Structure 1
Amino acid sequence: MRYFRLIAFSVFFLSFSVKAQDLITFQNFDELNAYIQNNSDKPLVVNFWATWCAPCVKELPYFQKLHQENPNIKVVTVSLDFDKQVESKLKPFLKKKNYSFVTTYMADKKFNNWISKVDENWSGSIPATWVINGNKGIFVEQEFVSFEELNQFVNESLTKIN
């Protein structure tokens, strides 16, 4: 009986945790956009980042806290890491950090073909965050220096686009 409980608990726990091997890969922006459209049941907070970007890595815990504390939104991170670093850096990083928000990877490195589809003024620098509700969104190219700053930006953005 004790063995069964351990297995049941493990299966239950694992079903709710994000594992690095579950990384969703988008080959192009159309796939990312389709994912966004298919997950529009609640507002999305989409963060573009990479493991080689120190400000990006620094702010990821704020997105984790936002994900944990606000059940009315869905946090999705989009890694722009280099292809050759997905296995060697990105997946080990995600496994070590054990973030529970949705983690994705953009394989399309022809950035100039798709960044203007996110926001026509996006220079391509990261970190960058896109708050989306339905077919409306607000995009910002900046680092959040605290959870409070991120949370305030998300709340104000949702008020503006609703």
Structure 2
Amino acid sequence: MLRKSLLLCLFLAFWFAGGTSVFAQSPSVPVIKLPQLQKYLQSPSDTTYIINLWATWCKPCVEEIPHFEALQKQYAGKPVKVLLVSLDFAKDLDKKVIPFVQKRQLKSTVLLLDEPDYNSWIDAFDPAWSGALPATLFLNNAKQQRFFVEKPLTPALLQEYLSTKFSL
């Protein structure tokens, strides 16, 4: 009895102290369909959305994610929102995407788009998009601003696009 009480006390102390072990919460990565993503694509708000399409298996995608994380931090408190939209298979959420997010301690919103028929939705981002990754959509519907780029982005390019195309 004393042993169970001691274990319970240790568990509770660790839990309330914010320990990071097997008891720590996994990051939330919602699996969504296109209609849920379209709320951002069609949002009438004056928020500039930077929607990066990536996958854990895409080396240039993985290399540019820290740039988006830095951007999210730089514009914290301003009407700018970074969305990292994974195009990994939904079946890989627990074994690839969530561990990826945990390992890199991503703070931006991460979503997994579960739409395996790419030809049915890539035009929603840009009719000229070939489907190659990485790809990024910069969007502010209130200001009628939209810019799509289908290549890896450097911090300098991100800043250039935001300052010249969106006056941020």
Q: Which amino acid aligns with 1:63?
A: F
Superposition TM-score, scaled by structure 2 size:
0.77
Among all aligned residue pairs of Structure 1 and Structure 2, give the percentage whose two residues are the same amino acid: 31
C-alpha deviation, 1:76, in angstroms? 0.6
CA spacing shift, 1:138–1:24, aligned 2, 3 Å: same
Work out whether 1:82 is the aligned partner of 2:89.
Answer: yes
Query: Helix, strand or coil for the counterpart of 2:148?
Result: strand
* Greater percentage in helix: 1
C-alpha separation between the residues in 2 aligned to 1:38 and 1:117? 14
TM-score, normalised to structure 1, is: 0.80
Structure 2: where are the runs of 5+ without partners? 1-12, 19-24
Does the residue aligned with 2:166 lie in a helix, a strand or coil?
helix
Equivalent residue number for residue 154 of structure 1: 162
Aligned equivalent of 1:142, options 138, 141, 151? 151
Bigger mean CA offset, 120-129 vs 82-91: 82-91
2:122 aligned with 1:115, yes or no? yes
Give the corresponding residue for 2:60: 55
TM-aligned CA deviation for residue 153 of structure 1:
1.7
The list of structure 1 runs, each at least 4 consecutive aligned residues, that deviate by more than 6 angstroms after superposition, is none
Return the offset for 1:36. Answer: 4.2
Supply the RMSD in Å over aligned alpha carbons: 2.4
* Alignment counterpart, residue 65 of structure 1, candidates 20, 45, 70: 70
- Report the Cα distance in structure 1 between the residues aligned to 2:26 and 2:131, rounded to whole angstroms: 25
Alignment partner of 1:23: what SS? coil
Structure 1 residue ranges without an equivalent (≥5): 11-18
Of the two, which has the highest radius of gyration? 2
**Which of 87, 99, 104 is residue 97 of structure 1 equivalent to?**
104
How many Å apart are 1:102 and its aligned residue?
0.6
Aligned length: 146
Decide whether the 8 Å contact of 1:26 with 1:106 is kept in 2: yes
Whether the 8 Å contact between 2:145 and 2:166 is mirrored in structure 1 is no
Does 2:35 match 1:26?
A: no
Counterpart residue type for residue 42 of structure 1? T
Q: 1:130 maps to what in 2?
A: 137
